[in-house]
Structure formats: structure tokens, C-alpha cells
Homo-oligomer: A and B are copies of this chain.
């Protein structure tokens, strides 16, 4: 099957046709005309078979996930997702696989208002790379560099579920069917927090998604905001799947190693953000409006080191957060 035909058959009509899109798939480039008075947020994320997903993952789920991981970057900036280009590398052109993949793209793109305006298909080991573009009001982007001493630190939803899902698929342990499904869904079909991210535009002082693990990502806020952050282990929001994992394996629920998936697990597309204590009620209201739970897990403190510290039972633990293992490629 020819490249032109793959793009024509499976990459057209993905997501809404924005009126600001002047030319989409079919020329040397797409053409967009952004509104005056807006900024654009641009991000790229790649997923490689055997590194970021199992080769036999359902194509609908893979399609959702490549969109979700990029949508999550828009959520972390508070941007409204608008356009995307997809580079799809495939070992072979299997129409059945492509058709399921395409319908997965359509469903998620439609739900989040994202239009696919460019595509490139090549032959090679299965991998996907998506560049996403979103719009932002001027000067409002949620960046990593604005956290202030005294701010509170929040995370959305629960932590570590995707890492639990990966451990389950790798056969490390078992959970009851419902909890197993919950954790695998967290891994394969994460829900990006776009509506909530946008609602934080006037509230959050620092924000990012924690796709590389809570501690490793929070450390970026510390570096870029020149602050330190203390995370309270007693406050980490855990799912019932995580609770079952602790019980079944008879783990100490307070120990750092038990909490490792929550602290350092990758692929959690939740937001971590900082906000002034004065805005605490607003934070909870906005979360309510988005039918999302948020949990205060720590605070921004003054320390010259610009690091993440852990505490429990009101006392700082004598453990460097960098001793816990963050999720890194090439590590």
C-alpha cells in the first residue's frame, strides 16, 4: 500500500475541522491561521514498540495513548489542544490494524477537539511520534518556573496506577479482576486532564504532568522555580488497586519502597501543580467542576538545595529523594 494511500485512507478526517485550519492533509504542509492575541504551545512525544508499549497492544488503545500523552503536555501548560501531526512508522501496512488505529484516533481526537493536520508514514519498527499544538491566551501559560515559597503542592487523581498496570502485565503479581483492569487501563488508556489544566490558568503558579514519575518531575519545578518541595508520604492519593497491592503483598504501607510506584512510577498522566494557600478553595472548586479529585501532597519550602524532600508523620525522612529511582530512558 502506498504512503499516499495510507495517509489518505486512515489519517484524514481525524478530529474537528477548525475554521482556523486553512489547509490540512494533502499538500507539502498544512496551513493554520491562529487567532490574534493568542500564543501557541507546541510539544512532541514519541512511543516506541517494546519501550513504551507492548507490541500486541490493541491498535485503538495505542491510538488513544499517543494522543493522550501529548494532550497531557497541553493540559500541563493550560493550553487548548487544536492541531497535531503524526509520524507513524510501521513494519507493514495491515489495513485491519490501520483501520482500528484510525478509529481510535478519531474517537479521542473528537473528544478533545484535536485536528490531525499532517501525517507521515514510513516503513520500519513500530513507533509513533506526535507533535501537538494548542492555543493559549497571552502571557498565561502554566510553566514550571513560577512556584513560590509557601505554595501548596497538589496532584490530580491517584498515583502509580500505570506502573502497577505495567507490573501486572509483566506478571510480577496479581490483583482482583476489577483492580487489575483499572491499573491496565491507567497504563494503556490514560485520561489527560485538559479541562482541569485549562481551569488552572489563573490559579496554578507551577504545573507539569508527572509522566516520568512524581518525584523526578516535581524536581523540575524545584530547579526551574529555585525552590525546594516537601512531599508528605501520608497524603499520597492511592487507588483501591494500589491498596490491594499493598495488602496482598503484606507491605508496610508507610515505607518508601511500598510507595515507589506512586513516587517514581512512569506513565501517570496526572498533573502536579503549585498554588497559593489563598487559592485552596478555588483549586477544589475547579476540580469539582471537572469531576476530578485533587489532593494536597506537599508544600513549597525554602532551602538552598532546590530539591524534593520526603516527610511522614510530620517529620522529614532521612532519605534523599534522589535515592528513590526515577523513570528515565537510557538510565
CB A9 to nearest CB in B, in angstroms, measures 12
Given contacts A2-B331, A44-B118, contact A208 B123 (CB under 8 A): no
- Among B39, B47, B123, B131, point to the contact of A85 (Cβ < 8 A): B131
- Let me know if A124 and B51 touch, CB within 8 A: yes
Interface residue count for A (Cβ, 8 Å)?
Answer: 75
A31 close to B136 (CB less than 8 A): yes
> CB of A201 within 8 A of chain B?
no
CA gap between A220 and B123 in the complex, in Å: 22
Contact check, A127 vs B43: say whether CB atoms are below 8 A apart. Answer: no
The 0/1 profile, CB within 8 Å of B marked 1, for residues 89-108 of chain A is 11011000000000000000
Instruction: Name the B residues within 8 Å of A125 (CB-CB).
Output: 48, 124-125, 127
Q: Copy number of this protein in the oligomer? A: 2
Q: Which of B4, B27, B52, B122 is close to A46, meaning CB atoms less than 8 Å apart?
A: B122
Query: Which of A77, A83, A208 neighbours the largest number of chain B CB atoms within 10 Å of its CB?
Result: A77
A214 at interface by CB-CB < 8 Å: no
Q: A residues within 8 Å of B by Cβ? A: 1-4, 6, 22-23, 26-34, 36, 39-52, 73-74, 76-77, 79, 83, 85-87, 89-90, 92-93, 117-125, 127, 129, 131-134, 136, 138, 141, 143-145, 207-209, 212, 220, 224, 328-331
The 9 A-B pairs of least Cβ separation, nearest first, read: A48-B124, A29-B43, A131-B131, A28-B76, A87-B129, A44-B85, A29-B41, A129-B129, A46-B87
29 A-B contacts, Cβ less than 8 Å apart?
A: A2-B329, A2-B331, A6-B330, A22-B39, A27-B224, A29-B41, A29-B77, A29-B134, A29-B141, A30-B41, A30-B42, A31-B41, A32-B42, A34-B34, A42-B118, A44-B120, A44-B131, A48-B123, A51-B123, A52-B122, A90-B330, A118-B131, A120-B129, A121-B329, A122-B329, A123-B330, A125-B127, A129-B129, A131-B131
